[in-house]
Amino acid sequence: MALALGWMHLACAQSAHPAPIAIHSVSVDLPASQSSFPPGLGSDIAGKCLICHSAGMVLKQPALTQTEWTAEINKMRTAYGAPIEDSEVAVLSAYLTKVNADQQGK
């Protein structure tokens, strides 16, 4: 019986303290972006998008309406903490709608 209790104690001890996870840093070289946001009202705010995205990635999105850009911007703010102020959302969504349409030739 003592042997069985000893095994149970070992099993409980192992599940309560999982093996530590090794975390380490890596270095990654990303290619330089060849795109930039075109000048215009809101381009300075669009610069905040560069914290997480390249300008090329933002500029190559499918055609979105201003309402859809507003939803995307608010998602980035609430889900990912994008530092875009309430007062900047309308200007940025208008800018991205125009730039996006220009990129698509519309």
CA–CA distance, 53 with 47 (Å, rounded to integer):
10
pLDDT in tens, 55-92: 999 988 998 999 999 999 999 999 999 999 999 999 99
Q: CA torsion angle for 67, 68, 71, 75 (degrees, to 10)?
A: -160
Which pLDDT value is given to residue 1?
45
Average pLDDT over residues 6-26: 70
Average pLDDT over residues 30-59: 90
pLDDT in tens, 83-98: 999 999 999 999 999 9
Average pLDDT over residues 10-36: 77
CA–CA distance, 47 with 84 (Å, rounded to integer):
10
What Rg do the C-alpha atoms of the chain give, in angstroms? 24
Average pLDDT over residues 12-39: 80
Average pLDDT for the chain: 86
